[in-house]
Amino acid sequence: MKHLRYRAQVRRDRHLMLFTKSRKTAALPWSMVCRLSTLAFVTGTASCVALPPPLMQSCATGGHAISVSADGLRASTTFDVLTFNIEGLGWPARGKRAGSLVKINAALKNMMRQGTAPDVIMVQEMFSKAAVNAVQGLGYPNMVSGPSRTQSKNLPVNDKMPGPYRWKKGELGLHLVGSGLSILSRYPIIETHSEPFGKRRCAGLDCLSNKGMLYARMAIPGVPGTINLFNTHLNSQRSSRVPPRRHARAHRLQVEELGDFISAVGDPNIPTILGGDFNMKSSALRFERFRNVTEPFEIVQEYCIDNPLPCDVRISWDGDEPWMDTQDLQLFESGSAVDVIPVRVEALFDGSERSPRLSDHDGFRVTYKVSWQVNK
């Protein structure tokens, strides 16, 4: 298992030449031809679900005050990040989701009007038209999405899933939808990249979406430098409809891809937030492999348990390892000049009185404090 190693001199946005190899295709049984014809029709319909247009503006809407310590040596401010799987699957995977997605849009708009909206939202499962509409028009001046349905890999492919491929379980070598990933920010996004895992680096029904990773570099006015944001959605477990050994292998390959992507576009000198739906709930094997690759990052829940005084926990956690009880996590790492720590964690859309449940995932919201030395 590779450890995450930042490469300081790595060239960003590397592009590889794509080579096409002609292959003989065996004759398919009539039942498979019919199935593929149906999927081709669905693919044509799915392709109409375009990603939201990117918004990258230099202005910021709102923000938090910058305070200076009593001795005048350090300055600090806060920003918060919501990671939220909005369950934006279309029919036939999910039915009657449009109403809840409209309510998600309305709730976030209302929070924006009241000044209580998250500074950053990391979205997963933005697959259907209703899901795309749910994250648009919220008042965020910056929004990036990807990978798209047809986007190809740029990073080298080191390994892939072995055959035989489960055609009936979605391992067709084509995608019906994109990654479903988006990042919204009230602060300027000045750079973005995305990278799919690849057609043969997934398992089961997960292969029908072009899952991958999304990166955004955000600038907070008054804070030195920038903040790196990474959003991802890894291969599911039972929902993939393939045996555990197979979906676990796909998850491992994707975790390695995540480490390579962070190394390629990230920077260890810049504070970094990693969030998303990691699909590791109750899986010690998946978690161990994940931590082998993301070792430099700290898990928010683990930090808050070890540091209860600076971290205001507004979620009821059961057991000593709450990070094993959820699919949705956030991790963080300080930069060389700017430190970042979580100071508050809470749930949104969790079924509480003022936050109705509108997805099969709760939203996980973390407030971070960033601090730096004042230059005199």
pTM, two decimals, is 0.88
Q: Is 63 exposed, middle or buried (0-12, 13-18, 19+ CB in 10 A)?
A: middle
Q: What angle do CA 4, 120, 55 make, to 5 degrees?
A: 100
In-domain check, residue 302: yes
- Determine the pLDDT at residue 48: 60
- Determine the pLDDT at residue 356: 93
Name the 3-class secondary structure at 186: coil
In-domain check, residue 288: yes
In-domain check, residue 109: yes
Q: What is the pLDDT of residues 88-128, one digit of tens each?
A: 987 556 668 999 999 999 999 999 999 999 999 999 999 99
- Determine the pLDDT at residue 94: 67
In-domain check, residue 64: yes
In the chain, the number of structural domains is 1
Number of C-alpha atoms within 13 angstroms, CB side, residue 162?
A: 4
Q: What is the pLDDT of residues 194-214, one digit of tens each?
A: 999 998 999 999 999 999 999
In-domain check, residue 366: yes
Q: What is the pLDDT of residues 316-356, one digit of tens each?
A: 887 789 999 999 999 999 999 999 999 999 999 999 988 99
pLDDT bracket for residue 165 (50, 70, 90): confident
- Summarize the confidence of residues 157-181 as an average pLDDT: 90
Q: What angle do CA 226, 230, 236 make, to 5 degrees?
A: 170
Lowest mean pLDDT among 98-107, 166-175, 286-295, 330-339: 166-175
- Determine the pLDDT at residue 34: 42
The answer on pLDDT for 6 being more than 50 is no
Give the DSSP H/E element, type plus range, for residue 110: helix 98-114
Q: Can you tell me which residue has the tokens 């205001």?
A: 312
Q: How far is CA 157 from CA 117, 315, 342, in A?
A: 39, 39, 35
The answer on pLDDT for 68 being more than 50 is yes
- Summarize the confidence of residues 59-74 as an average pLDDT: 90
- Determine the pLDDT at residue 158: 79
Lowest mean pLDDT among 11-15, 56-60, 132-136, 331-335: 11-15
Ranges of beta strands (E only) in the chain are 55-56, 67-68, 74-88, 120-126, 142-145, 182-185, 189-196, 212-218, 227-233, 272-277, 298-299, 312-313, 328-333, 338-348, 363-373
The per-type count for the chain, helices as H runs and strands as E runs, is 6, 15
- Determine the pLDDT at residue 24: 34
Task: List the CATH number of the domain containing 263.
Answer: 3.60.10.10
Q: What is the pLDDT of residues 266-278, one digit of tens each?
A: 999 999 999 999 9
- Determine the pLDDT at residue 91: 59
DSSP 355: B
- Determine the pLDDT at residue 60: 77
246 touches 207 (CB < 8 A): no
Q: What is the DSSP string of 263-322?
A: HHH--TTS-EEEEEE---TT-HHHHHHHHHHSTTSEEHHHHHHH-TTT-EE-S---SS-G
150 touches 194 (CB < 8 A): no
Which of 354 and 313 is assigned the larger pLDDT? 313
In-domain check, residue 298: yes
pLDDT bracket for residue 376 (50, 70, 90): low
In-domain check, residue 63: yes
* Region of residue 198 (phi > 0: left; psi between -120 and 50: alpha; otherwise: beta): left
Domain hosting 308: range is 52-373
Which of 162 and 227 is assigned the larger pLDDT? 227
In-domain check, residue 153: yes
Distance CA 264, CA 257 (A): 10
